[in-house]
Structure formats: C-alpha cells, structure tokens
Structure 1
Amino acid sequence: MGIYLNPGNEDFKRITRSNYIDKTGLIDIINSKIGTTNNLVCVSRPRRFGKSYAAQMLCAYYDCTCDSRELFSKYQISQLDDKREYLNAFNVIYLDITSFISNLNSKGSSINSIVNDIQNAVIKDIAAVTDVDYEDSFTGILLKYVGQSGKKLIFIIDEWDAIIREAKDNSEIQTAYLNLLRSLFKNGNFTSRAVAVAYMTGILPIKKDGTESAVSDFDEFTIINPGRFAEYTGFNEDDIEKVCQKSKTNISEDELREWYDGYSFDGVNPIYNPYSVMQAIEMGRLESYWRKTTAAETLFTYINMDFKGLQEDIARLIAGEYIHVDINSFNNDVENFNSKDDVLTLLIHLGYLTYDYNTQMVRIPNKEVRTEFESLLKNESRSKLADLVKKSENLFKETLEENGNAVAKVIDNIRCSEYAPTFYNNEQALRYVIKFAYICCIDSYQKVEELPSGKGVADVVYLPKNDSNLPAMIVELKWNKTESAALQQIKEKNYPAILKDYYGDILLVGVNYDEITKEHSCVIERLSRK
C-alpha cells in the first residue's frame, strides 16, 4: 500500500464512521464507463461540495490491495453492482494536487517543480513494489507496471485544477501540467492500453485551449450541466431528512433549506451545500461556514473587477434580482476574463451563484451565500458598491425620520447613478431604483414585492428580521401622479392589514416620479401600533 499508488481504503473508512450520507451510487456510473470509449470523466463542483469524499470513496472501491466488500456491503452500490466484478480489481493512482502544492509551500519552494514532483512521487511508489527503469518515460514506467501486475490503472485526481488556480499567472507551469494530463489521457500508445478509468474532480471545468478543452477526450460534468452526476453533487431533500433524523440538534429541515439550499439542476431540485449542512448539525448553529475558508476573500477579488455593468449586476443580485448570464465565453480559469459575464460564470462555478440552464438566469442561492455578498456592503473600504451603500444608508436614516423631501433627493441621486435602468419610463423602472435605494436594509429587513392585501397589491413591503425595533415599511409607487396619491392608495386599499400579525410601527411611504420635472417626490407617515 502506497501514498499515491494503491492508497487503500482507510480514508473512506474514516468518512463512514462519521454521519455519512450514502453517495455510493456514483460508483455505478463510473463502473458503466469501464471498458468504453467514455472512460475519462471530469466532474467539477464548488468548494466544499464533497469532491474529496467522492475521490476517497472511489479509491476504496477500486484499489486491488485491500478488501472493501464489508465496507460497501451496507450501501447503495451493493445493490446496484451485485456482481462486484470491479470491486478491488484495479491499480489506483490517487493524486490530490493541493497536497503537492502544500508540500512545496511548506518548504518555501517554487511551484515550478510540481509536474516533476507528481511524476517522481508515483514512480517512487511503483519502485517500492517492482523494479523500475529510471531511464524510461513516466508513461513507459506506468505501462510496464500494468503489464507486470496484469491490472489496468484507475486514475483519481482530486482538485485537478489547483495548479490552474494557484499558478494563474504562470502559463509555463500550466502548459507543463496540461501536457502531463495529455500524455496520460490523450496518448494513443498509452491511454487505451493502461487506463481503465480516469476520474478528475475540481472547482473549474478543464481549461480551454482556444475554444476547445485543453484535454479534449474528457466528458465534463459541471455545476452548470452535471448530467447523471446531478444527484451526487450535494445533498437532496431525502438526504436532509436523514440528516435531521440523526441529528441531536433542534435545527429543522426548513432552517437548513433557507440557509444552504438553492442549487438546482434538471431533474434534481433542490441541492444543498453538504459541508455547510453537516457543519451546522455538528455545531448546532446556522451560520455561513464558507467564512472559515478562503471563499469570501475570493468574492471580494472578483466582484470588484472593472467590467462595464458588473457592479450594477452585483447590486441587482444583492437586491434579490435574477440576471441573464452568457456562460459560453468563459475560459475555465481565474485569470483571463473578457467581460462581466465571464466573472459571473466563474462565480457560478465557485458556488456563489446558481444557474438555471433553461432560462440562463442566475441568482444568489441561499442565506449562507447572501451573507457573503452582504458583507461587501459593510466593508466600504474594499467594495466598489460603497457609494451606493452610503446613499442607501442616508436614505434609510431620512426614511426613519419621516423626511420625505430628503428621501426624494437621495432617490434622485441613485436614479442618476450607474445602478439605474437605462430606460426610466414606467413604474417598474421606479421599483427597480427603489430596491437599490434601500439596499442597505437587506440584512435587517425581508423584502416582499407585490404582497397581496384584501383590496389590492402593495408594491414593496419591508419586514424587520429577528424581532428588531425597526418599523415595517410599506412602499407604494406612482408614475406621473403624486406622492399623496400613492399614500392615499395605501390607506384606501388598507395595505397595513397585510401586517395584522406584526405589532411594531409601520411607515407608509408614498413615492412618485414626474417625467416633466424629472424629479421624485415622497411623503411618509408613521402608523403607530403602541
């Protein structure tokens, strides 16, 4: 048993001793690819979506140096693969690319040697079990080992794209690494003779070489289009039910859904972030567990890039909007961006946005991710949304003080900023600006649009969160009428009745825009419940 060659099943045993949710059905998909021309698979997922668990599971199943029959006997794969002809039947080469990078960093060494380090590490393991001709090429050594052992190789490469991300400005190292992958998986003298299956997993799809994949023989299953791997991307509703049944906490399925759900694919909806769910159960607390990774720092980096329309789109997303994204020009790396759509596509792959393949629209998926976006608004020194946030905070202050004229002036300023719609010609456009105007309220209020009442529909209602002392707000909008008419409609339609179960004060906010004067006007009244 080696480190990289046939690492055994101990890692997966450790996983199953915890609160393991059965995802062994993924093995059945990989089994179906053995002995076919579709035996090269790249599955990309966001950070903390169980990629390493899946890789270690596959190691345990295929490694010929261990006996995993009992280990898998109680899981789904034991019913799906009743013949078990592939169980512990292959030589496995398991490469965790991040571990190579970490070793170099710990020694203070350059990443430039990483391709040689990978090859030498595997050769060292092979040399421990058989004679090696060190004059031979890497693939030559592997091919001879396959011949001597009588068993083909299964390659399992975890965090395959770590070099693409870490050496993002070093094209020489990236090229050397991609050439290594080509030598293994796009080599007529090696691949078909030595490779039973290759399973690569990482955050990014395979980097493009021009318009094509740099290692083109792989079938790719991404967070955007996961295909048969969709149900193994994260936790589904059945998994969440099992987690809650086993849990000793009081966290409910509804609470887990609000915080960690939101990712969806064709035929599999919803999908939860598995790492965050398990952390919440373990810690007994609902919060953003991405803050304990480098993910939040990454978000700051990308949303502050200077692409036309990017800041507006980020503000729209934070305000709860859905936006259209063209995913086709993305280069599958973290360095080469040509437009805001490329940046937003990267955020999909990183897990910050969820993408609907049919509508080609994205949104912020859940409360956990929303807290990361909201943190941008609180960190004015680092966010390009700082100016909008300052205006919004001023507007909210004037609203609480019931200063309608001041509120109207702030709305005028926001209307003239980059966040306003290009065509400002109807009440819908006014509502769009109002959502930006109150963007500072997203962490303290729940925003509901077109909330039905007994006699009509209120345009926008803001409900305080967490039993705060803030007043609720009912905002009614008019176009080419008067702010008084907006306020009068709130009263005539009895919109406050919507909030009959809310016992705090309610601010009635009437806003009008006059196309002739090009100005907004506002009137505010407080309805006291005390």
Structure 2
Amino acid sequence: MGLIIDNEEMCEKFKGLLEEKYFIDKSNIINDFNKLIEDESSKYVCITKPRRFGKTSITAMLVMYYSKSIDSKEIFDKLKVSKGKSSDNKEKKNEIKQYKEFQGKYHTLYLDFSSNVFSFKNLRSFISSINSKLKIDIEELNPNSKVLKNYDDDIVVNLKNLYLETDKKFILVIDEWDYIITNKKFTDKERYNYIYFLKYLIKDNSYLAFVYMTGITAITKYLYSLNCFTEYNILNDNQYYEYFGFTEDEVNELCEKNKNLSFKNLKSWYNGYKSYNGEKIFNTWSVIQALNSNIIENYWSQTGSFNELKKMINYDIVGVKEDILELINGNKIKVRLENYEVEVFRNESEDNEHVKEILYSKMVTFGYLTYYNGKISIPNKELKEEFIKALNDKESDLQYFYKMIKNSDEMLEVTLHKNVKRMCEILDKSPMEKVILEDKIDHAHLKRFIEYSYFNARTKYNIEEESPCGHGRADIIFRPKKKNKVNGEIIIIELKVNSKAKEAIKHIHRKKYYNGLKEKGYYGNILLIGINYDLKKVKYSCVIEEYNNNMKLLSTTELGAERKRSNELEINGENKRLKSSSSKP
C-alpha cells in the first residue's frame, strides 16, 4: 500500500467505516461500476454531490476493493456486492462473476486535489509533488522497475511507461476534483492549466481501465475538455442517487439500532433532499452525528463556511432576497435550473432571470436547496436554521426579518396570554419601513410582516392565509396541529391599515370566519385578533376577543391607547347626545 498507488489511508478509512455502529452498506455501486470497466465509451464516471453526502466514503471503498496489493476478499465477501444486486438471475450471476474477477485485480491511483494544497507555492509544485509520491510507491512495489531509471518530470509519461512495462492497467479515483477550480488561492491561468492537466492525465490514455471522479461542482462548463466523462449530479442523477446520502429505509434501519431517536424527528430535520425521481434522501453526516450523540440539532454548520450562504443571499440580484424569504416561509419557487458553472455569478450582459438561475443552481449544488419537479425549496429544519442565521447580517436589510423570526416564539406566547401591549411592542421592534423592501406599505405588506412575526408558530399550528371560512376569506388563521387539535386555541387574525383594530374584529364577526370549526374537530377556545397599523403615527394597535367553542365571549383585551381613544369617543358621543337633548324644547 502506498501514497498514490493502492492508498493506505483510504483503506484504513474504509476499515474504520465498517466498524462504526451506524454503517450502511453501499457496496452495490461496485456492481454498477464493474460493468463499465475497460468499456471505452463508459469507463469515465463523474458523480458530484453536496458536501457530507458520503462521497469520500465511496472513494475509500473503491480503493479498498480494486487495489491489487490489498487483501480485501474477506471484507467484501460479507457485503452486498458479493451477492449481486439484479432481480434477474442471469444478470445476478454475471454480477457475482464480475465481483470475483475484479476484486483486487488492479492497482488503484488515488488523488485528492484538496489534500495539503496550501503548502505549495503554485499548482505546478503541487502536481510535481504527486509525481514524486508516485515514484516512492513504484520504488516500494517494484524497486527494479526500468521506469525508475529514467523517471520523468511528467507523471503521465511515467504512468504510460509503467503500463508498457507491466501490461497492467490502473483504476483512477479522484476526490475533490473541483477544489482547485473553486479556491481563490489559484489564478485563472492555473485553473485553466489544471483542467488541461486533468484532460492530459485521463482522456484517451490506455493505462486506465476505469476512472471515478467526485466533488461538489458539476463539470458542465469543462465538458469540452473533459467530454469523456458521463456526469451525474444532484440535478440529473437517476443512476447512482441511492448511494449518496441515506434513503428513508436506511434511516429507519439506523433508528432501529439507536432506539433513542425517532425516525419522525430525524426526517423533519435531515430529510427533504429529492433524487431525480423524487425519492427522499437524508444528509448522511447530520444523521450519523445525531445518532452518535442522541441529540437532534443543527450539524450543517460544521460542514462548511457559514459566510458562504450569507454571501449568496446578499448578492445584489433583483428578486433574490424576496425569493429567499418565501423559501424560509416554507414555500416552493418555480424555476428552471440547468447545470450552470458555479464559480462565476455575474455577467453584466446577462439578464437578471438567468443570473438568478445560476445562483439557485449553485445553492442546489452545494446542498442549501433541493430541486424537484421544476421547483426549489429548503430541504429541512436544519437548512432552514442556516438560512435564518444568514439573515443576521448587519450590512443586510434582511436582518430585521431575522429579529422578527427570533422574536416569534415570544410573539405567540404573549398572544396566547392576550398581552396586547407586549404584542405591539414586539411589532414595533421591527419598523415596517425597514422590513418591507418596497416604497408602498399596504394590507398585503402588513400581512407578510405579521407572518414573520409568528414564524415559529408553524411548529404548533397549520397557518393559512386567505383561507375560505364562514362568509369569506380570513387574512390569517391558525389551526392547531393534530396533537393539539381538540383543545388547542384557534387564532383568527384580521388586519387593517389606517383604521382601527376594533374594525378588524367587527369584520371577523360580519364574515363569521369562526363558523364550522367544531364540525372540523376543533373544540378549543377561539381568539379573534384585530391588528391595525397607523401609517402616520407608525404605531400598532391590537384587540383580542376570546370565545369558547360555542362563541360565548370570555374576555376582551385591547391596547391601553386604543381603549382610551375608544372611551374618549364614547364620552364625546354621550356628551353630544346630552347636549343635543338639553337644547330641545
């Protein structure tokens, strides 16, 4: 075992994976790859996926299985690959035959283009170091090799000579192929030279029996140079998707081993990615971390730069910030995505919609969004937390939304306690003119503002806008989720601009939005909430009326200022009435 040839580190890594409590056998991908070996039209495979979806684990397994100087028969005879995967008996027999034929048949070449790259002055010295490691391996494997006597500065020349000498082909496994492309350490010229080097190393070279390359970034932009590859990425992979990330069945299997964490909780936090055919996929890294610690929380921030997402959200592209808020709110956005390159974002000659598509394509590629059936969405709670954190940027006008979301737990609590004074204080903390990204503030904007003020309430309630009920459509109605459906409070909110909160309450009564709740299985008390925003005074007023399920009034709560104005109007009205009656003969 060596540094490049039959890499020892990758073999030890795979042995370590086998010993883990929550190991999932993904070895059937080898059955798929064995069918491609030495097939000139199919032997080049590039699979790109988001970070922490098990890409390196697959590369470690491939190195372990194919490497000639590693005795791995006993290990793989216990895994799925040894038994074949096809439902067709004839095909399965062929898979088992190929498994035995190719196991340990080849020397593998393992290259990780992210490994220790910063210790080198430039790309040339980095590639030169790979060639030097290859020489060390050849000396270990065959000290009398003629290649060593005339060892060339060109690694491809040395590999060709080694093949001519031994008549043995290699399997090339490349990890983090795109690291040099996406890293700012390297100049544009070095990146171009790197692509040329890959083409020189891989394309049309008879010393290669099979090439597997993986990373995060799709190779679409470079297909002219690397057009030998068949590429499978998160947007188009209908062949190998089940080997990257965990399927629902696999996570159920892991939960059976764990006993402490439920599948339901893991699903809400780490599921939501969609394969090409719609099958749900879990983030491997986060699931394993949660199972090992018995704690469900956000592990995504451990996998990459948090600033990366901030930067994407704050690109000065018209409509992106509004789209991000819609996504955070749980909505899906229709968009046409293609395999765009991801390191270049802005070309002033490109139209805005095209630039947005490039940005969203990057966010899908990096795993921040999922894409299925022509729509993008945030996959799960873990990623939603990342988006919400990314809003908290002092230089961004979206910071106010972050504060609203963070205050939304308290907003629901004080609402249920009918503390209208505190409700208005919370609303006043995020000035409407700062939150609304347009000049005009109207009823629709107020509704959007209130949605975010109650953002976290959706964990306990099904929140509907313009929901048909009674004799019209309620602005916002909160219906308790199944667990609290029978006794949980129902919240009906009506909004007004430049009016009065009491007028909003009257509107609810006129439209009887509360009709039919018992028939639908809701028996809890009903809170009718009227909220008014005064544009001139830049202030909120609020009234809450609480009823039981038979619509018997239990209490009325309103903000002091509103009550005072109401009392003043009643007193003035009474005085006018008395004055009018006293003046009559």
TM-score class, shorter: 0.7 to 0.9
After TM superposition, the structure 1 stretch with the greater mean CA deviation from structure 2, 345-354 or 135-144, is: 135-144
Q: 2:199: which partner in 1? A: 182
CA apart distance, 1:85? 1.2
Using structure 2 for the length normalisation, give the TM-score.
Answer: 0.74
CA apart distance, 1:389? 4.6
- Counterparts in 2 of 1:355-370, with a 5 A limit? 355-356=371-372, 358=373, 360-370=374-384
Residue 387 (structure 2) pairs with residue 376 (structure 1): no
Task: Give the Cα separation in 1 of the matches to 2:519 and 2:428.
Answer: 30
Aligned length: 503
- The 1:159–1:369 alpha-carbon spacing in structure 2 relative to 1, beyond 3 Å, is same
CA apart distance, 1:21? 0.3
Task: Give the Cα separation in 2 of the matches to 1:184 and 1:414.
Answer: 58
Q: 1:284: which partner in 2? A: 294
Contact 1:490–1:496 at 8 Å: present in 2 too?
no
Residue 72 (structure 2) pairs with residue 68 (structure 1): yes
Task: Give the Cα separation in 1 of the matches to 2:44 and 2:312.
Answer: 31
Task: Give the Cα separation in 2 of the matches to 1:30 and 1:344.
Answer: 31
Counterpart among 279, 293, 304 of residue 269 in structure 1: 279
Task: Give the Cα separation in 1 of the matches to 2:29 and 2:541.
Answer: 58
Is the partner of 1:157 in helix, strand or coil? strand
Using structure 1 for the length normalisation, give the TM-score.
Answer: 0.82
Cα deviation digits, residues 256-275 of structure 1 (max 9, x gap): 10110001124352111111
Is the partner of 1:82 in helix, strand or coil? helix
CA apart distance, 1:164? 1.4
CA apart distance, 1:439? 2.0
Q: 1:15: which partner in 2? A: 17
Contact 1:42–1:218 at 8 Å: present in 2 too?
yes
Contact 1:290–1:296 at 8 Å: present in 2 too?
no
- The 1:149–1:496 alpha-carbon spacing in structure 2 relative to 1, beyond 3 Å, is farther
Letter in 2 for 1:203: I
Residue 475 (structure 2) pairs with residue 475 (structure 1): no
After TM superposition, the structure 1 stretch with the greater mean CA deviation from structure 2, 267-276 or 166-175, is: 166-175
Contact 1:411–1:437 at 8 Å: present in 2 too?
no
Aligned CA RMSD, in angstroms, stands at 4.1
Is the partner of 2:96 in helix, strand or coil? coil
Task: Give the Cα separation in 1 of the matches to 2:440 and 2:227.
Answer: 42
Q: 1:155: which partner in 2? A: 172
Is the partner of 1:146 in helix, strand or coil? helix
Q: 1:51: which partner in 2? A: 55
Contact 1:5–1:92 at 8 Å: present in 2 too?
yes
Q: 1:516: which partner in 2? A: none
Letter in 2 for 1:32: K
Task: Give the Cα separation in 2 of the matches to 1:449 and 1:11.
Answer: 47
- The 1:254–1:414 alpha-carbon spacing in structure 2 relative to 1, beyond 3 Å, is farther
Counterpart among 228, 235, 248 of residue 224 in structure 1: 235
Is the partner of 2:209 in helix, strand or coil? strand
- The 1:459–1:40 alpha-carbon spacing in structure 2 relative to 1, beyond 3 Å, is farther
Cα deviation digits, residues 234-291 of structure 1 (max 9, x gap): 11111012101111x4100101101100011243521111111111000010001112
Bigger-Rg structure (1/2): 2
CA apart distance, 1:183? 0.3
Structure 2, unmatched stretches of 5+, are 85-94, 549-553, 555-585
% identity of equivalent residues: 29
Contact 2:470–2:513 at 8 Å: present in 1 too?
no
CA apart distance, 1:497? 8.7
Contact 1:40–1:217 at 8 Å: present in 2 too?
yes
Task: Give the Cα separation in 2 of the matches to 1:47 and 1:324.
Answer: 25
- The 1:100–1:437 alpha-carbon spacing in structure 2 relative to 1, beyond 3 Å, is same
Is the partner of 1:53 in helix, strand or coil? helix
Task: Give the Cα separation in 2 of the matches to 1:153 and 1:223.
Answer: 28
Letter in 2 for 1:159: E
Task: Give the Cα separation in 1 of the matches to 2:128 and 2:325.
Answer: 45
Task: Give the Cα separation in 1 of the matches to 2:446 and 2:76.
Answer: 56
Is the partner of 1:98 in helix, strand or coil? coil
Task: Give the Cα separation in 1 of the matches to 2:279 and 2:339.
Answer: 27
Task: Give the Cα separation in 2 of the matches to 1:295 and 1:448.
Answer: 33
Q: Which has the higher contact order (CA 8 A, sep 6+)?
A: 1
Residue 3 (structure 2) pairs with residue 3 (structure 1): yes
Counterpart among 128, 148, 153 of residue 116 in structure 1: 128
- The 1:32–1:168 alpha-carbon spacing in structure 2 relative to 1, beyond 3 Å, is farther
- Counterparts in 2 of 1:326-405, with a 5 A limit? 326-328=336-338, 330-333=340-343, 339-356=355-372, 358=373, 360-377=374-391, 379-381=392-394, 383-389=396-402, 402=420
- The 1:3–1:499 alpha-carbon spacing in structure 2 relative to 1, beyond 3 Å, is farther
Structure 1, unmatched stretches of 5+, are 514-518
